[in-house]
Structure 1
């Protein structure tokens, strides 16, 4: 069961709802979004059947949900939600481009990549300060120094920052510098990390695991929502397959399918799906066409010397093609390109 509070509901009304649920023998989990507050109720069928909260002050609606992911379910909210990242919307009415270097290497490289991304239509800056890599010998990121570079580049360009968090112990320091926390594919089911980012109060970008089903992905999002954070954006970045010519198989069907299952916005990351620069723009076009709410794209001023994923990073003519795609295709679907702040 999900109890939707009125936008103007007083804190005392919310406390009354929570106490009513708990006195009846259920557990109440409060989740606050930008535009509404909801209370997720977990209880046995007999408790749910007897629970009477519809008439309590501040209650706008009571929704009985059958899916295992209660808070992020489409049954809970029939229209795709809009998540705001430092004022930049990610939702159903526009296509939001998030772009930047896969890894923060130097202040100069990060600023140049950010300016390239902004010229191509990006409204948010992505950049990795902590890099979980397949090889322990590969570049692992600059850590806090990388976060400081991202914050400085945000000041210079106006682009809010999206960056990955890999350890629950680092959540507070990453949240101090970042505007949106990214949980990467390898950490999709790191439940301690999901709970930590859910409690910190910043929007979260949750990537799909390499072999995760839609339900597993949404249950991971439920962990974040259950800790009080409904500002969650999902990101499809390809799943493991038998084909060796590409890094991962991009599952474009995930966008319309997950839109049916959940109210959360869904992005596509064609860079990490393809692993090859020449495939990124075609896959980005497909993502827009299938209804993705945004794109996550790698950009680098000198990809030939990049410390991370240079072969997939866009620059030059490829970046120009991406700009053409993000500016011309969304209007054909009744959307706009989200402007930079």
Structure 2
């Protein structure tokens, strides 16, 4: 989590922090699908107090090749038309320099750097080169995995191109334990960055963190309570027919109710309690993981010292009486473990045995396992 404290030059009157402290609200469909879909959704969103920017996915970065990849450049033409019809500013996500050039060509007002581009210094340098001299407002999504250095590095590269109208988006991170989120919020990373650079506006993409409608409120409220400057939502005139992420999109009238609930701090105890409880459990697991790794490393150090003494028959006896082996075998004899527990213990036992046999383990063939 450590990262340098290189100063970030941020415009005093930027696009992503309101002077009166009100939230910057950005909403729109996950993907631009048709001119009609985009215009009708935008017209309804315009009537919601506080929404001043329309978002829409133009290029969709997909892991699998046969998934919907977005409509491409034609969607930028629709965005330009919608801006002229509604007066809303527009934003879309870009992942490379070509995307950035095309978006600016069609008058997109704000660029959002894809999390997959944030992790790629080469892509960031190319995007920054395209933006140099433009004064373009830019939001930088967090990298896919929690790495403050990469997040800050993207901002620094944009700064070197004289881009100062900057903001961050916490859209969640990949993690071993995601439930109940689509992407884990890792609020601790966001808060650390906020502490390091209070001048940087931070927005929360509630839709991509929540992944489902039932969690949009508690995720949004948690973000607001932690001091974010704005929120991003996904809204579609007909979510059930959406070509992507239908489960996390709201109809504009539903989104208006959600925003009003956030403004009035209505408490939806069921979901709030679930999120707070899971965040607490996640923190407990992080602490236990750190303690476990530290304990394993300390045990490995002791094991190496024993092997260095080359204790002959005594060493062999110690190996046969391996603490790991005895404890894991004892666990497997218990009758109060589930099949999942048993599978985990067997996998752990096998991994430890392989480590003991490996010359690279540093333990030697006669080391205590």
Both proteins in one fold, TM over 0.5: yes
2:296 match? none
Match of 2:120 in 1: 190
5+ residue gaps, structure 2, are 266-369
Structure number with bigger Rg: 2
Change (3 A) 1:174 1:192: farther
Residues 151-230 of structure 1: matches in 2 within 5 Å? Answer: 151-176=80-105, 177-199=107-129, 200=131, 201=134, 202-230=136-164
- Whether the aligned pair in 2 keeps the contact of 1:188 and 1:209 (CA below 8 Å) is yes
Return the TM-score normalized by structure 1. Answer: 0.69
Relative contact order, higher structure (CA 8 A, sep 6+): 1
Distance change >3 Å, CA 91–CA 224, structure 1 → 2: farther
Q: Alpha-carbon deviations, 1:10-36, whole Å to 9, x = none?
A: xxxxxxxxxxxxxxxxxxxxxxxxxxx
Distance change >3 Å, CA 316–CA 223, structure 1 → 2 = closer
Structure-2 separation of matches of 1:133 and 1:152: 27
1:145 aligns with 2:74: yes
Whole-Å separation in 2 of the counterparts to 1:118 and 1:70: 39
Q: CA deviation at 1:320?
A: 3.1
Distance 1:107 1:180, change over 3 A: same
Distance change (3 Å), C-alpha of 1:253 and 1:81? farther
CA distance 1:212–1:220, change in 2 (3 Å):
farther
Structure 1 consecutive aligned stretches of length 4 or more whose deviation exceeds 4 Å:
89-92
What CA deviation, in whole Å up to 9, does each residue of 1:299-325 have, x standing for no partner?
A: 011111101111100126631332203
The aligned length equals 256
Q: Which runs of 5+ in 1 are unaligned?
A: 1-66, 330-341
Task: Check conservation: 1:255, 1:290, Cα contact below 8 A.
Answer: no
Quote the RMSD (CA, aligned, Å).
Answer: 2.4
Query: d(CA) in 2 for partners of 1:197 and 1:95?
Result: 28
What is the CA distance between 1:82 and its match in structure 2?
4.1
Which is helix-richer, 1 or 2?
2
Q: 1:247 aligns with which of 182, 185, 199?
A: 182
Structure 1 residues 235, 219: closer, same or farther in 2, change over 3 A?
Answer: same
Q: Which residue of 2 aligns with 1:313?
A: 249
Report what 2:58 is aligned to.
Answer: 129
Change (3 A) 1:105 1:141: same
Which is richer in strand?
Answer: 1
Contact 2:41 2:252 in 1 (8 A): no
* Aligned equivalent of 2:46, options 118, 141, 151: 118
Write the deviation string for residues 104-144 of structure 1: whole angstroms up to 9, x where unpaired. Answer: 00111111221232233311110111111222111111111
